[in-house]
Every structure is written in C-alpha cells, then in structure tokens.
Structure 1
Amino acid sequence: MPINFDLEKLRQEHKCVNYFETGLWDPRDDISCKMALNSGFEKVFSIELFEEWVELGKTIFNTDISQGRLTLILDDSVNMNKYMNNEVFANKTIFFLDAHICNDTLNNRKRCPLFDELEAIKMLDRKDNVILIDDIRIIVQTFPWGENSYGLINFLEKIQEKILEINPKYKFSRLNGINEDDVLFAYVENEG
C-alpha cells in the first residue's frame, strides 16, 4: 500500500540494509515496494498471497528480480518464518507489516496474521529491526478485518506487547500511511 513518509530518510536514520514487507498489493499502483526499490536498500522482499499480483510484480520488477535485489514470495505471510533463515537478516531490516484479507477469495489461514509475522521477526538473532505496522485505524477496531481467532483482545496493545517481547527497548511512534498517524513505528534507538 502507499505510504506517506520518507522511507529513504527512515532507512538512513536507522541504518537499515534490507526491507521486508507483507502484502505487496497491486504492483501497477504507487506501492511501498516501489518506494523501497527507489531507496537505498540492498535487498527488498515482499510476500503476497494473491498470485495475480506476484505474477504482475515479476513482470514490472523484472530488472530488480534478475539483479537479485528483489525477492517476491508467493505465500501466506502466516508462513513468514520459513523465509527468515537467510543470512541477509543479520543486517538491520525494516519490516513493513501490511498483510490482511479483505475478502474470502484467497486460501489464507488468518485474516490478520500480525502475530505470526511478529513471531517470525522475534526468532531472528537481530533484535533492533525497525517494525512498521500499517492500518492502525482498523487495528484499533474490534476484530480487525473480521479476525476473531484471537478472541476479544485489544489488538494494538497485544501487538505492542509482542514487539516488547522481541526487545524491551523498543519505542513506539506513529507515521503517516494512507491516513495520518496510521502506521505504528517501532524502533530501538541507535546506541552511540
């Protein structure tokens, strides 16, 4: 999805080498993956469940894919942990979590797999990655995107608790997404 903050500035300020997003969206639009490719990231990853968007992405981003800079993954982001066993993640990464299901036409395991995605990030050795979570305006609602498998919980509070399990030094702020202050920004302050 589109983002309305300076991704390159964020990359530089937090010294991030990689970008990993969940939820590619339609690659013909002005999407975050394009912004990441136009920034200084060495490696960009995008996991998407909708095959048509992945196939379109393979055509649109053919040069970046053939040069090894972009990896498109056709899979449910609930399986994100399968892709974290990669040496590039020893380097600091921005994770942009934006996978959710708005309809019932895809073969997904969860409508909002945020906790599975955060668990995948948690298993990495590196504990200071930048975590961005989109659509906070929806996440604060009861059962966001109809996700009820977790029971009646305060999604935002539980997400922040899960991030603090990764590293208790995480701080939280907001960035602009499609709406103002719609992206949760979790970061560990640079030391030194």
Structure 2
Amino acid sequence: MAAPVLGLLMAASAAAATEESFKKPDWDQIANIKEAALHLAQMQRTQGANRAFQFIDACYRTHSLQVEYSRPFEACIAQDYLETRILALIYSRMPPETLKRLGMPTPKMLADTMGRRIVTAFKSYNVPVSEVQAFKKLVDEHGFPVFFKALFPDSKVPEITDDPQNSDAAPTDDVPAKDAPKDDAPNNDKKQ
C-alpha cells in the first residue's frame, strides 16, 4: 500500500516544495505520532471504524484551516494512514467477491483514496519529499506498532509491506472471519 502512495506523495510534493520554503516541525514527531495512534485505536475499539473515519475527516477539516503545517494536522495525516493501513490489512483477508457483494472497498481502493487525501494534505503546506519520506518512516516504525497493539493486543505486529493485497501481513487474532466483516466498516464512498 505504501509504495504507490509514497510515489504520489513525492510527485505532488516535488512540484510544490523546496527544503528552504518549508518550516520543519519543532515538536516531537515520534511522540505526536504515538499519541495520535493510541487515541485513534482507543476510539476504534470503543466506537468502531466508521467513527474513526468521521474523526479523521473532522480532524482534517478543522486543522487544515491553519496557516502553517502543525502538530495537530500532522496527527490527522498519521491517523488517516494508520486507519487505512489496518483496514487494508483486514480486508485483504477477505475474498474480493465478498468485498464486492457487501459493498466494501478493496485494499487498493482504500490505499488510493487515502493517497489522494494525504497528497492534498502535504501539498497544501508545501511539504518537501524528504519530509514526506521521513514522516512515513516515523509512522511505520513508531505509530503502526502502537496502533496495531492497541487494536489487537494478543496479536504479533505484522511486518509492514508495501502490498495492500498481502494477506500474510494481516492480523490473525481478533479479526473477523473471511465472510464476516465488521458491521462498522466503511462503504465504497466513504472519505473520497
């Protein structure tokens, strides 16, 4: 999932930003990412994936109004990436025909729509490619394990792959069976 998204992010950022024009974050990005991951995981466990996506949408709408790239806006991006990655992992365990029959997005559709949201977010603040790459690496290394363990405390954190169809990376515990999706999963037109 991450490879196509990162390519889009880099292309969009390269056209719009230079290292000199971007004010580097002056906050602890790792702490911000971990806090955002834990908050969203707790929300999803208690209120479901639809509520988590509604929160992310509200987060973008609120924090994108700021003049400069900010800590809260960065948390929105991290949460969007993490939520989408988890759902793509879960949905990758389901047969495509089941996803289609239930009106659910494929892992690729999830990745593509998330990619468009994140490209727009980074582009709106002229974030350069080097910062996008560094941020993605921080989210993968620090945010994903926190998010995953909060959602699936008894499961081993899977290795992060760039393939949204990789069912071997999906959690094996606490995940619905292939033909039993979660009731609160988003539908195809969510967050486009």
The answer to which structure has the higher helix fraction is 2
The answer to which structure has the higher strand fraction is 1
Higher relative contact order (CA 8 A, sep 6+): 2
TM-score, reference length from structure 1: 0.32
